[in-house]
């Protein structure tokens, strides 16, 4: 029997900008490659934009006094003090757009310099999840169809 190389389902480090959306909590984390863009400019809050037609999110820096903004927190290595990531709570936004937060997922993101924001393309299958499926007749909540 020949050996087969195991490939991790989640890559630990990426040199390309990545957004991770955590399961259930809706925590949005920018990896180091993405977080550096905001950190070097002293960004403390971001605005989130949604394009429902194309399933794209735009993440743009904001004045932290804007009531629509989400505070971003940067993490640093304790020894080297180097930036490791940046994160914000996007749960309300994700619920608003109907995003399925049942599992943690990573998405490549790109910096659009002429617009000054990151863009994230989300797959269409990440949407439209209902807490009660049409076929289960409400059985998840102890209600019988009928």
Higher pLDDT, 100 or 64: 100
Q: Is the pTM of the predicted complex or chain greater than 0.95?
A: no
Higher pLDDT, 146 or 77: 77
Q: Which residues contact 36 (CB under 8 A, 6 or more apart)?
A: 83
Q: Which of 99, 15, 105, 19 is nearest to 59 (CA)?
A: 19
Confidence grade of residue 90 (pLDDT, cut at 50, 70, 90): very high
pLDDT tens by residue, 98-108: 999 999 999 99
Higher pLDDT, 8 or 44: 44
Check pLDDT > 90 for residue 141.
Answer: no
Confidence grade of residue 17 (pLDDT, cut at 50, 70, 90): very high
Region 118-146: mean pLDDT is: 63
pLDDT tens by residue, 67-83: 999 999 999 999 999 99
Region 38-42: mean pLDDT is: 93
Tell me the helices (H) and strands (E) count for the chain, helix number first. Answer: 2, 9
Asked if residues 43 and 54 have their Cβ atoms less than 8 Å apart, the reply is no
Residue 46 three-state SS? strand
Region 124-138: mean pLDDT is: 58
């Amino acid at each position: 029997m020949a050996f087969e190389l195991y490939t991790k389902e989640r890559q630990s480090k990426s040199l390309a900008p990545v957004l991770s959306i955590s399961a259930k909590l809706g925590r949005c984390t920018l990896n180091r490659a993405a977080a550096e863009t905001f950190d070097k400019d002293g960004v403390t809050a971001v605005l989130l934009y949604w394009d429902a037609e194309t399933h794209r999110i735009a993440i743009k820096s904001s004045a932290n006094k804007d009531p629509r903004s989400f505070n971003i927190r940067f993490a640093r290595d304790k020894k080297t003090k180097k930036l490791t990531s940046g994160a914000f709570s996007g749960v309300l936004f994700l619920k608003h757009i109907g995003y399925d937060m049942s599992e943690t997922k990573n998405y490549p993101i790109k910096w659009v310099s002429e617009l000054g924001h990151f863009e994230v393309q989300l797959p269409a299958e990440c949407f439209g999840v209902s807490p009660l499926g049409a076929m289960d007749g409400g059985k998840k909540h102890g209600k019988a169809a009928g």
